[in-house]
Amino acid sequence: MTHVLVTGGAGFIGSHVVRALREAGQDVTVADIGHPAAHRAPPPPVVAGAPVRQVDVRDGSAVGALLSGVDVVVHQAAMVGLGADLDDLPEYVGCNDLGTATVLAAMARAGTSRLVLASSMVVYGEGRYACHRHGEVRPAPRAAADLTAGRFEAPCPDCADPLTPGLITEDAPLDPRSVYAATKVAQEHLSAAWARQTGGSVVTLRYHNVYGPGMPRDTPYSGVAAIFRSALAAGRAPRVFEDGGQRRDFVHVHDVAAANLAAVTTTGRGPGWRAYNIASGHPATIGEMAAELSRATGGPDPEVTGEFRLGDVRHVVACPARAEAELGFRAVIGLSDGVAGFAHAPLRA
C-alpha cells in the first residue's frame, strides 16, 4: 500500500482523485484549505473515507507535519480558470507558485521523493498549427481588433494565411497567455528544478478541459462546461463566446482520476521530470459541448454571442499517445456519454 497526500483533495478534481486512490486500496490523506474560489463552505472532515486536514499549502510547517510516512504527493491544490480580473493576480501566484514551492521544500526536508503535479493544457497557449506555405508555425496572440471584428482564427505569422490546427504533443514549446497559464508553467519549472536537485520523480499531468459531476457552479473560476450547465439549470441559454468553433479536448473527471491513479501506481519510473497530456483524444468545439448539454438537459439552444476574452486561445487539441504508452492510461468516457451523465449530476455549491 502506498501512502498518498493529496493537496486540494476536497476540490472538484481532487475529490475524484481521492476516491479513485481509495478504491484502489491506497492510504490517502487530504490537505485542503477550502479556498473561496473553489468552495463556499469549509471542506468536509472526510473525502471518500480519507481524513481532510484544513491546511494551506503556503504554510510549510503545516505541510511538513503531514508528510511523515508519505510516499507520493499528488498536488492538485491551485486556483484555476481565468478569474475575475487582474486583481486576482497576486492570489494566483501565491496559491499556485508559492504554494508549490512550499510543498516542494517540505518534501525535500521530509525525504518524500515522488510528486504527481496537476498541470494544464494552458501551458501551450495556442495549440499546434500548420501553414500551407510555411509548415508548422506558432501564431502570435490574437489581436483585440481582430476579435472585435469577428476574425477569430489565428493567422500565419509569416503570410497571414489561414492555419490548419493539429494535435499538440508534450514537447511543444510553452507559451502561456494568461495569468493562470503563467502560474502553471512556473509550477512545472519549479518541480523540474526540484527533481534535478533532489533526484526525485515528477509526473506532470497536463489536464485538458475537464468536466463532470461536482464542478463548481456560478463562479468565474470554473470551467466552461460548468458555466454552461449553471445557465441551463437556471433556465437560461448557454452563452458561447466567439463563434463557438474553438476546438478543445473535453476529458471526463473520472478519466482524469484514473490518470492520477496510473501516475501513482506505475512502477519502474526512475528519477526525473516528465509531462503527459491527459485528454480524451476526441476533440470537439465549444459550441458542440454547449449543444450536447442543451440537448441532454432539454434546455434552450446555445446563444453564440461573438464575445471574447483576450486570455483565451482558439484551438488546443492534444495527442494522448505518451500517457497511454508510458502510464498505461487511456480515457474511456466519450463526450456523449459523459455529457449525458453530467447534465443531471450535482454541481458543487
Residue 141 lies inside a defined structural domain of this protein: no
- pTM of the predicted structure, to 2 decimals: 0.94
CATH of the domain at 46: 3.40.50.720
Number of domains in the chain: 1
Residue 147 lies inside a defined structural domain of this protein: no
Splitting the chain (349 residues) into consecutive groups of 10 residues, what average pLDDT does each group show?
95 96 97 78 88 95 97 94 78 95 98 97 95 94 94 95 95 93 97 98 97 82 85 94 96 98 87 96 95 95 94 92 97 95 85
Contacts of 281 (CB under 8 A, 6+ apart): 249, 318, 319, 320, 330, 331
Encode pLDDT of 191-226 as tens digits: 999 999 999 999 999 999 999 999 887 666 668 898
pLDDT of residue 216: 83
pLDDT of residue 235: 94
Residue 133 lies inside a defined structural domain of this protein: no
Residue 268 lies inside a defined structural domain of this protein: yes
pLDDT of residue 297: 94
Residue 78 lies inside a defined structural domain of this protein: yes
Angle at 195 between CA 194 and CA 201, to 5 degrees: 135
What does R_g of the chain's alpha carbons equal in angstroms? 20
Residue 159 lies inside a defined structural domain of this protein: no
- Distance from C-alpha of 294 to C-alpha of 340, rounded to nearest angstrom: 10
Cα dist from 272 to 6, 107, 176, 201, whole Å: 20, 15, 23, 5
pLDDT of residue 310: 84
Encode pLDDT of 170-199 as tens digits: 999 999 988 999 999 999 999 999 999 999
Encode pLDDT of 300-330 as tens digits: 999 999 999 887 899 999 999 999 999 999 9
Cα dist from 117 to 202, 273, 276, whole Å: 7, 10, 10
DSSP state of 8: T
Domain interval for residue 98: 3-127+168-343
- Distance from C-alpha of 243 to C-alpha of 302, rounded to nearest angstrom: 11
Angle at 52 between CA 50 and CA 54, to 5 degrees: 170
Residue 337 lies inside a defined structural domain of this protein: yes
pLDDT of residue 219: 67
Residue 315 lies inside a defined structural domain of this protein: yes
